[in-house]
Amino acid sequence: MTVFRAVTDDAKAFTTSRIRKHANGSGMDPFQGTAPVGWVRAVPVGNNGNPMNVIVCVKQIPDPATPGALDPGTNTLKRDGKLILDESDSYGVEMALQLVDAAGGGEVSLVSMAPNGEVSGMRTALAMGASKGMLVSDPALQGSDALTTAKVLAAAINKLGGADLIIAATESSDGYTGTVPEQLAEVLGLPSVTFAKKVVITGGTLNVNRQTEAGYDEVTCPLPAVISVTAGVVEPRYPSFKGIMAAKSKPLETVTASDLGVTPVGWAGAGQSIVSVTQAEARAAGEIIEDDGEGYAKIVAFLENLKVI
């Protein structure tokens, strides 16, 4: 059962108590403290001295400090160089490490989807303290949409044996769809809590402060579950030299979409294509008003013409 308790006046109208329906249509909680078939969980979980396994979905992106370029053949962002860990995912990695520490043990694993076998960004997360990773890299994945990405990540998570908690960022810095975490939860058949600004696990229960425009909601749900965390939920650690050296020998498995049994993928799975890209028009030069003692009147007239006032 997932319970929402409003903590702001504006959110009171949205306070609900909801049970996620099972695939068979019943209103019974399908989890009952158990995991999907084939998952290996470290239960009981929480800060009670028992281990906890967490999987973090991380995206590797072109360095934002370098001007991006589009592939003229596909009109998509070029990703043929070195990729780095998306800064938004560093918060999820740090949150996972802290939760495992609070639980008294366990491990943090990574899943990612990137071209050309690129693992530089994943190595950064491993240097932070993650134990292992799985990269899905396949030329056939080019052009995959958010839903296909969620299916691929879900298959990778299942191949790793599942976990007590799946963590993702709210959205990537180069895509901004903001839908993959929710789609991932649906594919896995797990409860989903988005925009987490505080995460605490007690026993087998996930307790989250979910950020809203009016404040935050207190949300609880059973594990396993999927959450997306906001930037600033924790302060990501910097990889130490020891961590960077250790990351080089940590296991990092690379698989393809066919290895995971996910099809169709890429443009075929997305059912769409980018037919053209048009350069945005250059911004027109603004009007300069010199103050000759009546400058304010010209500004007021300008705003009135725009119907701003």
d(CA 50, CA 39): 17
Percent of the chain whose pLDDT exceeds 70: 84
Each residue of 112-124: pLDDT tens digit? 999 999 999 999 9
pLDDT of residue 24 exceeding 80, the answer is no
Supply 274's token pair: 């980018």
Is 159 inside a domain boundary?
yes
More confident residue, 43 or 183: 183
> What is the reported pTM?
0.78
Each residue of 131-152: pLDDT tens digit? 999 999 999 999 999 999 999 9
Give the per-residue pLDDT at 37: 58
Region 286-294 average pLDDT: 82
More confident residue, 33 or 256: 256
CA 124, distance to chain mean position in Å, is 17
**Structural domains counted in the chain:** 1
Supply 46's token pair: 């929480």
Is 284 inside a domain boundary?
no
Sign, CA dihedral 198-201-204-205, equals negative
Give the per-residue pLDDT at 39: 60
Give the per-residue pLDDT at 19: 33
**Band of residue 296 on the pLDDT scale cut at 50, 70, 90:** confident
Listing DSSP states for 230-265 in one string gives -TTSS-PPPPPHHHHHHHTTS-EEEE-HHHHT--S-
Is 295 inside a domain boundary?
no
pLDDT of residue 40 exceeding 80, the answer is no
Site of tokens 């500004």: 299
Site of tokens 């999907």: 36
Return the CATH number at 223.
Answer: 3.40.50.620
Is 308 inside a domain boundary?
no
More confident residue, 49 or 3: 49
d(CA 247, CA 250): 5
Under DSSP, is residue 196 helix (H, G, I), strand (E, B) or coil?
strand
pLDDT of residue 22 exceeding 80, the answer is no
Is 279 inside a domain boundary?
no
Region 14-35 average pLDDT: 39
Each residue of 62-121: pLDDT tens digit? 998 888 888 888 888 888 888 999 999 999 999 999 999 999 999 999 999 999 999 999
pLDDT of residue 12 exceeding 70, the answer is no
Q: How many CB atoms are closer than 10 A to CB 107? A: 18
pLDDT of residue 295 exceeding 60, the answer is yes
Q: How many CB atoms are closer than 10 A to CB 42? A: 17
d(CA 204, CA 225): 10
Is 187 inside a domain boundary?
yes
d(CA 61, CA 82): 8
CA 190, distance to chain mean position in Å, is 15
Domain that holds residue 33: 2-270
* DSSP percent split of the chain into helix, strand, coil, nearest 5: 30, 25, 45
Is 48 inside a domain boundary?
yes
**Band of residue 35 on the pLDDT scale cut at 50, 70, 90:** low
**Quick one: residue 18, left, alpha or beta (phi over 0 = left, psi -120 to 50 = alpha)?**
beta
CA-CA distances (angstroms) from residue 61 to 67, 149, 183, 282? 12, 15, 21, 27
Each residue of 195-233: pLDDT tens digit? 999 999 998 899 999 999 999 999 999 999 999 999 888
Listing DSSP states for 8-39 in one string gives SGGGGGG--EE-PPPTTS--S-S-TT---TT-
More confident residue, 58 or 12: 58
**Band of residue 282 on the pLDDT scale cut at 50, 70, 90:** confident
Is 151 inside a domain boundary?
yes
